[in-house]
């Protein structure tokens, strides 16, 4: 039998050959890590996405296999220095400074002068990141951006950022904003994780006020903290981060995983907690025969109206898209919905609160009403052994030997976001088992899961059952 070491080597070899063949077919070469990152036409290629995931899984598992365990554990215990270093990068505008310097890079003396900090310490931070392939040291103490660090670039000039720092992340990809949010308030809260879990008063609590975040920032929930006077920049950054993440997530699983075409002309789709309605916009473009209501808090609705005035004014004028004020912890007023849709809502709430939301929707549902949750679905690191196989879409392709069933580090984003939700809100991303347990007794039943290799998000479809 092939050894794990040889099997991983074979997966890497065949995967790399496939990737290079796909690029060659399109008359392109795989981008150099020394070049700035630019979205390309192959980013959405299904075969490329699947192969890339296998290569990532094999490479990371190969490192885990060959690196001595004590070294792995010690390095893992020190890895918090990477996000701490990234926080310095986004706060000091280092990516933008180096972009303006050009490919020849900039000496740490000049970097320190332009960012207003000690050049030697900035150099040590950049060297740590460059050693982990974020930035590059092109000569002793001379640093430049590379493909990975350039993903943090807001695209704005340093002068423009300094002139209006609170608007730094407006109209950007949102990646820098997300890194800033995660490495600032969330990382500062995260150091209290053990304290929270070992405290009998908070360990099993489902209250946001008992979240790790609240312990770190003086008994205040995360969202309330962001809205406090003095946190205007953090709140603006958080909004940019969430909008950027939404824009970056492929919507094909949402659009294709349910038979929207089967809904009758003018059937009503209710986007519960839909923000400005950016995902409703994607649905309406694909299925203009339906009617849409976006439910949100009163203070969000004016922003939503502005969004639609700039993207599809006719939809508002015709009434095909409407905004309605609603708190999803209150009884659902719409009684004739064909579909209730929620994107990244349930993951904000612990089970007790999430069940309340689901019960309100069920109380207003018709027997034919469907509920669609578009969210992460946490993959098990172990095989499910065919468990949940009666649910279409529940089974994922079997990972080739000797890879983990969830492809290991390929699932890092999902499991890390799950911990982020625990720290910030005392909430969670859920496995399929946890999701089934959540809806038990709420009048809903999971009937199918839509997936896409281009996105970690899943579209989970529920039907009504007797309460």
248 pLDDT more than 70:
no
Q: What is the pLDDT of residue 130?
A: 98
- Out of 60-74, 162-176, 450-464, pick the least confident: 450-464
Rounded Cα distance between 231 and 224, Å, is 10
Q: What is the pLDDT of residue 243?
A: 77
326 noted as active-site residue:
no
265 shares a domain with 208: no
**Mean pLDDT value across residues 398-420:** 96
**Mean pLDDT value across residues 413-417:** 95
- Out of 109-118, 174-183, 243-252, pick the least confident: 243-252
State the catalytic residue, choosing from 169, 243, 347, 360.
347
262 shares a domain with 233: no
Q: What is the pLDDT of residue 30?
A: 94
On whether residue 102 sits in a domain, the answer given is yes
Residue after which a domain boundary falls, among 54, 74, 94? 74
Residue after which a domain boundary falls, among 132, 160, 188? 160
Look at residues 79, 30, 84 and name the one whose alpha carbon lies nearest to residue 52: 30
387 shares a domain with 299: yes
On whether residue 296 sits in a domain, the answer given is yes
On whether residue 169 sits in a domain, the answer given is no
pLDDT, the chain, mean: 95
97 shares a domain with 38: no
User: CATH code at 263?
Assistant: 3.40.50.150
Look at residues 397, 395, 388, 390 and name the one whose alpha carbon lies nearest to residue 437: 388
336 shares a domain with 296: yes
Residue after which a domain boundary falls, among 247, 272, 295? 247
Structure tokens at 318: 């015709």
329 shares a domain with 427: yes
Contact indicator for 305, 322 with CB cutoff of 8 Å: no
Give the three-state DSSP class for 160: helix
250 pLDDT more than 80:
no
On whether residue 165 sits in a domain, the answer given is no
Q: Could you tell me the pLDDT band of residue 278, with boundaries at 50, 70 and 90?
A: confident
On whether residue 168 sits in a domain, the answer given is no
Q: What is the pLDDT of residues 283-333, one digit of tens each?
A: 999 999 999 999 999 989 998 999 999 999 999 999 999 999 999 999 999
On whether residue 361 sits in a domain, the answer given is yes
Q: What is the pLDDT of residues 12-28, one digit of tens each?
A: 999 999 999 999 999 99
23 shares a domain with 11: yes
On whether residue 275 sits in a domain, the answer given is yes
308 shares a domain with 221: no
User: CATH code at 98?
Assistant: 1.10.10.10
Please count the structural domains in the chain. 4
Bond prior to 402 in cis (omega within 30° of 0):
yes
The percentage of the chain sitting over the pLDDT mark of 90, rounded to a whole number, equals 89
Q: What is the pLDDT of residues 368-402, one digit of tens each?
A: 999 999 999 999 999 999 899 999 999 888 999 99
369 shares a domain with 272: yes
The 8-class DSSP code of residue 300 comes to T
Contact indicator for 391, 448 with CB cutoff of 8 Å: yes
Look at residues 405, 397, 398 and name the one whose alpha carbon lies nearest to residue 381: 405
254 shares a domain with 239: no
Give the three-state DSSP class for 227: coil
281 shares a domain with 239: no
Rounded Cα distance between 301 and 310, Å, is 14
Domain of 200 in residue numbering reads as 175-247
316 shares a domain with 439: yes
260 pLDDT more than 80:
yes
Q: What is the pLDDT of residue 364?
A: 98
On whether residue 166 sits in a domain, the answer given is no
């Amino acid at each position: 039998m092939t050894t794990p070491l040889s099997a991983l080597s074979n997966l890497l070899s065949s995967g790399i050959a496939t990737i290079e063949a796909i690029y060659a077919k399109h008359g392109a070469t795989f981008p150099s890590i020394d070049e700035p990152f630019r979205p390309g036409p192959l980013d959405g290629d299904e075969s490329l996405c699947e192969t890339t995931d296998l290569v990532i899984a094999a490479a990371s598992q190969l490192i885990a296999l060959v690196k001595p365990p004590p070294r792995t554990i010690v390095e893992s215990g020190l890895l918090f220095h990477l996000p701490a270093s990234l926080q310095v990068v986004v706060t000091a505008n280092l990516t933008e400074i180096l972009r303006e310097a050009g490919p020849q890079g900039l000496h740490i003396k000049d970097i320190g002068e332009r960012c207003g900090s000690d050049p030697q310490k900035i150099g040590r931070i950049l060297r740590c990141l460059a050693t982990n392939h974020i930035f590059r040291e092109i000569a002793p103490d001379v640093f430049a951006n590379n493909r990975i660090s350039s993903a943090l670039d807001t695209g704005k000039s340093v002068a423009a950022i300094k002139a209006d720092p609170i608007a730094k992340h407006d109209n950007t990809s949102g990646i820098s904003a997300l890194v800033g949010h995660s490495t600032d308030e969330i990382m500062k809260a995260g150091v209290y994780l053990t304290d929270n879990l070992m405290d009998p008063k908070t360990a099993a609590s489902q209250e946001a006020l008992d979240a790790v975040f609240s312990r770190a920032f003086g008994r205040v929930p995360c969202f309330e903290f962001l809205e406090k006077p003095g946190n205007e920049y953090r709140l603006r950054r958080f909004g940019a981060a969430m909008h950027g993440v939404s824009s970056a997530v492929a919507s094909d699983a949402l659009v294709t995983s349910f038979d929207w075409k089967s809904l009758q002309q003018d059937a009503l789709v209710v986007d519960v907690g839909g923000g400005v309605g950016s995902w409703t916009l994607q649905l309406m473009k694909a299925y203009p025969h339906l009617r849409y209501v976006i439910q949100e808090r009163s203070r969000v609705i004016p922003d939503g109206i502005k969004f639609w005035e700039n993207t599809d004014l006719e939809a508002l004028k015709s009434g095909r898209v409407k905004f309605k004020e609603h708190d999803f912890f209150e009884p659902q007023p719409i009684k004739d919905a064909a579909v209730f849709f929620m994107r990244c809502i349930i993951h904000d709430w612990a089970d007790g609160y999430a069940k309340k939301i689901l019960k309100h929707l069920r109380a207003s549902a018709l027997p034919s009403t469907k509920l669609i949750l578009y969210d992460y679905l946490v993959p098990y690191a172990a095989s499910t052994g065919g468990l949940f196989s009666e649910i279409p879409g529940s089974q994922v392709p079997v990972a080739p030997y000797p890879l983990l069933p969830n492809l290991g580090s390929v699932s890092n984003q999902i499991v890390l976001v799950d911990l982020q939700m625990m720290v910030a809100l005392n909430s969670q991303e859920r496995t399929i088992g946890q999701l089934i347990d959540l809806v038990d007794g709420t009048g809903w039943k999971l009937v199918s899961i839509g997936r896409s290799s281009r996105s970690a998000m899943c579209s989970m479809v529920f039907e009504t059952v007797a309460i």
